Structures are given as C-alpha cells and as structure tokens.
Amino acid sequence: MSSENNNKKVNDGEMLLSVKDLTVQYTSMGSVVRAVNGVSFDLKRGQTLALVGETGAGKTSIAKAILRILPDISATAKGSVVFDGEDLMKLKDKDMEKIRGHKISMIFQDPMTALNPIMRVGRQISEVLTAHRHLTREEAVEEGKKMLEMVGIPAERYNEFPHQFSGGMKQRVVIAMALACTPELLLADEPTTALDVTIQAQVLELINDLKERLNTSMILITHDLGVVNETCDDVAVVYAGKIIESGKKRDVFKNPLHPYTNGLFGALPNMNLDSERLSPIEGLPPDPTDLPDGCAFAPRCPYATDKCRQGDIPAVEVEPGHFCECIRVHEIRKEQ
C-alpha cells in the first residue's frame, strides 16, 4: 500500500494511525539492540489493536516510538507514524508536546512508577487538564474530580496521595490521567499485569466502557490472549521486533497460521481437551543484538527448513486482511 493511499485514507477520516517501516534501535555498552525491525500496521478510528508477544518482543518500544518518548541518548527510531494526517516522526518537539497527553495518551504498565508518590492524585490529573485544555485552576480541579468519579473513585479522594490507594485504584487514577483530555488514541501497556484477576476484569470493563463512550482508538500491549479476546478488534503478533501474523481477531483466533502464534495458543489451558500437559514453545527468544538470518523464529520452529534461515520472509495474505510471515504457511495450513 503506497503512502499516498495511506494519507488519502487518513484524510477521509477512516484511518487514524498508519505506521510504516518503523525501526527502533538502542545502543548499550557498544552493542546495537534491534528492538523493532520494520513494523507496519494501520488503525481505524474507534478500533482496538492488540500487540501480542513474549516479554522483550518490542511491543513497548513500538508504543514509545509512536509517542516519541524513547530515551534520546540511547535510542533511535526511523520510519513513518502518520497520525490524523501528520507524520509524528517529522514534528518538532514543541509540536509533539501538544499531541502527547492530549490527542495520544498512554497507560503505563506499573501504576506505582507512573504516579508521583509525593504529589496528590487530583493534582496529577489537573496538571494534564491545565496544560492541554488551558483551564483555570478551579476548573481543572472540578474536571479532575469528575474524571475520578468516571473511573469509579469518589471525588472526596482528590487530595489523597498514591500510597493511600490500592493497586487497582492506582491503575484507575492512571486511566483517569490518560483519558482526562479525551484522547483520540490510547496506548495501553499491559494495563492489568500488576492486578489480581478480579480487579483485572473491572479495569478492562472500565477501559472498554470509556473507550466506547469517548470513541477512542486503542493499541493494547499484552501477552494475555484472554484479554485480547475480551477487548480487541484486530491482532498483531510480535516476535523479535517484527509483526509475524496479523488480522481480525476472529481470523487469527480461529485460524492461527504462524508456528509461533500456534505455540502461544498451545501454551494455553483448554478445558474442552483432556490433556495432562500444556505444549510450551521450546527455547528462548533470540538475542536482539544478534538476530539470526531469515525467520527469527526458525531456531524454535518445528517446521523450519534451510530456506527459513535465508533472506527476508515476505508477508503472505492467506485470506482478506489476514497476513502471515512464513514461507511454509500454505503447507502448514494443510497439515492442521
């Protein structure tokens, strides 16, 4: 798909975000960490895309590159991130500051580190409102209280500190901060990882409800396929900094094709099957400072051949909108 066509879709109002050939590299102790390697995807308004994969796959680096909050000293990002008709990679820092927290917000993985421990939670929400919506202090306080109530926290707790809240409540405060300016795009990085199962369900229900109410698009970063099933429209499976399978949730869940995607599903317990053991994926993800040639999953793949270890692996469209980067995808499909 050409960039001209992408921009046309964005300007038509259907496409909100179009990421093309995004790469992110970190420099650490003289080594180059290839965290993201040519990632491309589109996101429509009001839709939710899940980035799924193991820890270290590059999911968070993708989100931080979109928001342009990668560390300046050690990280470099290239590619295009077209948001609402503008390439964020080409914007000046002062212009990006107007978008960050206003049009695009992020829910970070750990609410303990996302909140300032010595600042009252209400003030942390109000600062966002003052900076981007240019409200007076009194107006910001009132809006901040409304945001707390929107996420299920009484307005009376506006002046309390983060340590006075439980883990689930802290995450609700972080969500309130992220949604304070009704962003068009929400980046949610493992928003339920640090929470127990009951609170996870409440937070996911809250995010879904607010997303629908505010018509917010979302990129959900997770390794939990159950969360994806409850929350998302589209799925992109990330491995070694690349999207190796993507499509509508129903297509990827009903017909997973890449051996890695099948491995993720095989590692899940299935109450309908009488099996004594799960089927974990053998081995470990590759070292991002020394990625193998060809398919990065080949060292762990039961279907790998010599061809898999040579050159770039093209994405194959196996059905409309369902892509898979595997040269043996049609053979594997017949064997399933």
**Per-residue pLDDT tens over the stretch 212-239:** 887 889 999 998 888 898 889 999 999 9
Instruction: Read off the tokens for 201.
Output: 């369900």
Alpha-carbon distances of 307 from 70, 79, 85, 258, 310, rounded to whole Å: 35, 28, 40, 16, 5
Confidence of residue 210 (pLDDT cuts 50, 70, 90): confident
Backbone angles phi, psi at 212, to 5 degrees: -70, -40
pLDDT of residue 4: 41
pLDDT of residue 180: 86
Looking at every residue in the chain, the average pLDDT score rounds to 87
pLDDT of residue 13: 47
pTM: 0.87
Higher pLDDT, 166 or 200: 166
Give all strands of the β-sheet with 104-107 in edge-to-edge order. Answer: 104-107, 185-189, 217-222, 48-52, 234-239, 242-248, 322-324, 316-319
Task: Please give the average per-residue pLDDT across 245-258, as a whole number.
Answer: 94
Domain ranges of the chain: 3-103+181-335
Backbone angles phi, psi at 94, to 5 degrees: -70, -30
Give the model confidence (pLDDT) of 130-141 as tens digits: 888 888 889 999
Beta strands in 131-288 (DSSP E): 185-189, 217-222, 234-239, 242-248
Residue 120: CB atoms within 10 A of its CB come to: 17
Name the nearest CA neighbour of 133 among 208, 83, 92, 183: 183
| For residue 2, pLDDT beyond 70 | no
CATH architecture label of 3-103+181-335: 3-Layer(aba) Sandwich (3.40)
How far is it, in rounded angstroms, from Cα 112 to Cα 121? 12
| Strands 15-28 vs 75-83: parallel, antiparallel or unpaired | antiparallel
pLDDT of residue 9: 39
DSSP per-residue codes, 291-319: PPSS-TTGGG-TT--GGGGSS----EEEE
Range with the poorest average pLDDT among 33-37, 60-64, 227-231: 227-231
- Residue 290 CA, distance from chain mean position: 25
The proportion of the chain whose per-residue pLDDT surpasses 90, expressed as a percent, equals 57
How far is it, in rounded angstroms, from Cα 8 to Cα 14? 10
Confidence of residue 184 (pLDDT cuts 50, 70, 90): very high
Task: Please give the average per-residue pLDDT across 11-29, as a whole number.
Answer: 86
Residue 109: what residue type? Q
